[in-house]
Structure 1
Amino acid sequence: MRFNPKADISRGRVSDAGRGGGRGGAAGGGMRMPLPGGARAGGGIGGILIVVLFVVLTQCTGLMSDGGGGTGSQGQAQPEGIDTGDERYANCRTGADANEDPDCARVAVTLSLESYWADTLPEQAGTELSPAAINTFSGAVSTGCGEASSQVGPFYCPPDQQIYLDTTFFDDVLQGQLGGQGGDFVEPYVLGHEYGHHIQNLMGTMGKVRTQKGPDSDAVRLELQADCYAGMWTRDASDGDGILTDLDQGDIEEALDSAKAVGDDRIQQKSGQGVDPEGWTHGSAAQRMAWFTRGYEEGTLEACDTFSASRL
């Protein structure tokens, strides 16, 4: 994966919150992620299971409890772009910077996602895009969904319309503890998945989530759809006509490997449990890969309608 060296990425909606204060541990106030198979938070693999689930499902539940199943965030002002006082991203100006600096690559990927959905969402859903912002942090961060620590992992907060990310996740957890192969397209896949949750928020899809666990649950359907949306963006990015260039089959395989690594069945196995589909909240490894592939091959919101699918 490379970036067009002449691309202007100075408008990227990425900022850094630095090292937050407060307690460690998962987001409070009902924000803790359910662990597959009933694993307990704590030391070892059971403790890091929190990290690999890419959205806090209880946030979505809380969002739906506003009475009416709306997204709970429509009508808010658009997130601001990069903070000019943010030293971490201050030098990210062009695609050439993105080719040399992983922080600038994050900015470029965010712009690519925004550009894709700004065209696709109105065309396919008749909904205008209110862009999401990306916030990186270390240690802990305060959000509209509560305080979250690095143990929560990458997640989308609907009230903020923002994605939060501790970048140590990729080396420390996804590769180091879950056995993912890594690669430069792993983080773009994760950001694509999280941006997919933002699209669901704007479209009101989160209001469809009623059941939180099980192989056919609404929670699983929500997650698989976000994987499918990540595949849609990847299909467009692979054309090489925008910010991203030279996206090849190796990049696709890195995304698929990451989707496989965070399948509920794989996580349960890594934690030493037997595979229990009734504890699933995000879908199996095979399902996550299949729905990413479906989005990549078909490229439409209709093809990604997991809520109408009779079989996941």
Structure 2
Amino acid sequence: MTRSFGVAGAALALALTLSACTTTVQGVALGTGRVIKEDVDSTFIKNSDGGEIDKLAGTVVKDVEKFWEETFPATFDNKPWQPLRGGYYSVDTSDKAAPAPPCTDQASDVEGNAFYCPSADIIAWDRASLLPVLKERFGEASVMLVLAHEMGHAVQRRAGITQAAQRSDPQRYPTILLESQADCYAGAFVRWVSDGKADRLQLDRTALDPALEAMVLFRDPVGTEQTAQGAHGDAFDRVSAFQDGFEKSAKLCSEISVDNRTFTQRGFLSEQDQATGGNLPFEDTLKQLEPDVNAYMQAELSKLGKQWPNPKLDRVTSTPRCGQGDQGPVAYCPDDRTIDVQTRGRLAELHTKIGDWSTGTIISSRYAIAALAALGKPLTGADAQRSALCVSGSYSKFLLNRQGNNVFALSPGDMDEAVQVLLGFDFPARDLDGEAPATGFERVAAFRTGAVDGINACNLD
């Protein structure tokens, strides 16, 4: 059984057929930052052509090996790290006569992917139509992330997890859990690089945003059940696992289990929801969101002994200019305690391109600013920005867990839409001055605090 980074989503699959062209994701800057300080001789890679892609891949895996030489004993009771017995394979999937790596029948089996095979203890990658496309579209950091994920599966084998998963009840070690752990291990490695501890690699954290966008494209198809064989998780699950490793440690990653890990990926509950892809029309979203988010904020503020002002949602055609700065297409207006929503332009465009919960994420963040005002909290500065995102995330958590028929709740893919808008745009994070955290990584992290731990984690009292 092989463990891969994931199946390329439709957007990347299109890029694979057009690999000579440059295609950018709306709102996400193309990653061009160099990660290599000193490259390696790639002759240790089997079937390598010695080109730039294999030099990049080889440099990455050598530093990943160094990371685990240091980290594995500290994570697994002083057990030493064992190098890959079968080594590394570069596969030219553009050549029908190219040799196939172990665990495959032909080179084309690797097309558009990278994988770890535990039986042969090897890592292989497509050097023709995967790594070059990732590098071009999302920067070299995305290649680092993919190969570190595959090494994460090698870590699982050395820790005995792979063998236990094969012997034990599959419900104890579902595929989605193993993939989440590998994403977490990748995050721990990338943090080590960004902290300047790597011998050959370096990383400017601004390069993380486009790399995480690649994770969005490698998510499971919307509506995939958590229990599906080969499930890797939705974009929120995958980015969350990566950030846990980045922000905490490989030790935390090693302790991920079905007892302490929840996933947002889920299947459609109705044919109607599936038919619409889980998306409401723009105006219907506004109509259903307004009373619901007001009720949520009222309930939460009452727990803190505060009165919720029940701000009215006003539809405007021009860019909202209330407040002290440009909050974007949705703005909290402190003078009259209203929420101005621009019904034409950027918000409606994002609704169409990303989905209805891009709209929900942006609007709920402005209600979060209103909540900060009702609590007498600052409405500007870094704390206000993080709190707005956290409270918005807590509302998403509330809707995700809501049960019942014909209720306003999140559909499969909605949390992914939140991740996409947070990575690509800073509207949900803007304070009253129009200022926001510089990177999508920071914005997702603050939103995720509320989405995972709830509103009590947002430090409102």
Match of 2:240 in 1: 290
Tell me the CA shift for residue 143 of structure 1.
4.3
Q: Which has the higher helix share?
A: 2
Match of 1:228 in 2: 184
Q: Does 1:135 align with 2:89?
A: yes
Match of 2:118 in 1: 158
**Larger RCO (CA under 8 A, 6+ residues apart):** 1
Conserved? CA contact 1:174–1:261, under 8 Å: no
Worse overlay, 281-290 or 248-257: 248-257
Name the CA shift for 1:245/1:16 in 2 (closer, same or farther; >3 Å): closer
Conserved? CA contact 1:163–1:195, under 8 Å: yes
Alpha-carbon distance in structure 2 between the residues aligned to 1:164 and 1:205: 21
Q: Does 1:203 align with 2:159?
A: yes
Conserved? CA contact 1:155–1:164, under 8 Å: yes
Alpha-carbon distance in structure 2 between the residues aligned to 1:217 and 1:283: 14
Deviations 1:13-60 (A, max 9, x none): 74242xxxxxxxxxxxxxxxxxxxxxxxxxxxxxxxxxxxxxxxxxxx
The alignment of Structure 1 onto Structure 2 pairs a total of residues equal to 217
> Which residues in structure 2 correspond to 1:7-156 (within 5 Å)?
9-10=40-41, 14-17=44-47, 88-89=49-50, 101-125=52-76, 126-132=78-84, 133-139=87-93, 141-152=99-110, 153-156=113-116
Secondary structure of the equivalent of 1:147?
A: coil
Tell me the CA shift for residue 124 of structure 1.
1.6
Conserved? CA contact 1:13–1:111, under 8 Å: no
Name the CA shift for 1:226/1:13 in 2 (closer, same or farther; >3 Å): farther
Provide structure 1 residue ranges, at least 5 long, that are not aligned to the other structure: 18-85, 92-100
Name the CA shift for 1:310/1:241 in 2 (closer, same or farther; >3 Å): closer
Provide structure 2 residue ranges, at least 5 long, that are not aligned to the other structure: 1-33, 264-461
Alpha-carbon distance in structure 2 between the residues aligned to 1:298 and 1:230: 12
Deviations 1:277-311 (A, max 9, x none): 45361111110000001001112223442224242
Conserved? CA contact 1:208–1:218, under 8 Å: no
Name the CA shift for 1:289/1:237 in 2 (closer, same or farther; >3 Å): same
**TM norm structure 2:** 0.42
Secondary structure of the equivalent of 1:301?
A: helix
**TM norm structure 1:** 0.61
Tell me the CA shift for residue 204 of structure 1.
0.9
Deviations 1:63-109 (A, max 9, x none): xxxxxxxxxxxxxxxxxxxxxxx6x23x9xxxxxxxxx332222211
Match of 2:203 in 1: 247
Tell me the CA shift for residue 128 of structure 1.
1.5
Alpha-carbon distance in structure 2 between the residues aligned to 1:142 and 1:149: 4
Name the CA shift for 1:211/1:146 in 2 (closer, same or farther; >3 Å): farther
Alpha-carbon distance in structure 1 between the residues aligned to 2:173 and 2:160: 17
Bigger Rg, which one: 2
Alpha-carbon distance in structure 2 between the residues aligned to 1:156 and 1:245: 22
Name the CA shift for 1:300/1:172 in 2 (closer, same or farther; >3 Å): closer
Alpha-carbon distance in structure 1 between the residues aligned to 2:122 and 2:162: 15
Tell me the CA shift for residue 212 of structure 1.
6.1
Name the CA shift for 1:278/1:115 in 2 (closer, same or farther; >3 Å): closer
Alpha-carbon distance in structure 2 between the residues aligned to 1:106 and 1:157: 17
Conserved? CA contact 2:53–2:132, under 8 Å: no
Conserved? CA contact 2:91–2:101, under 8 Å: no
Q: Which amino acid in structure 1 is aligned with residue 210 of structure 2? A: E
Secondary structure of the equivalent of 1:134?
A: strand
Q: Which amino acid in structure 1 is aligned with residue 114 of structure 2? A: P
Overall identity of the aligned pairs, in %: 25
Tell me the CA shift for residue 173 of structure 1.
7.3
Name the CA shift for 1:138/1:181 in 2 (closer, same or farther; >3 Å): closer
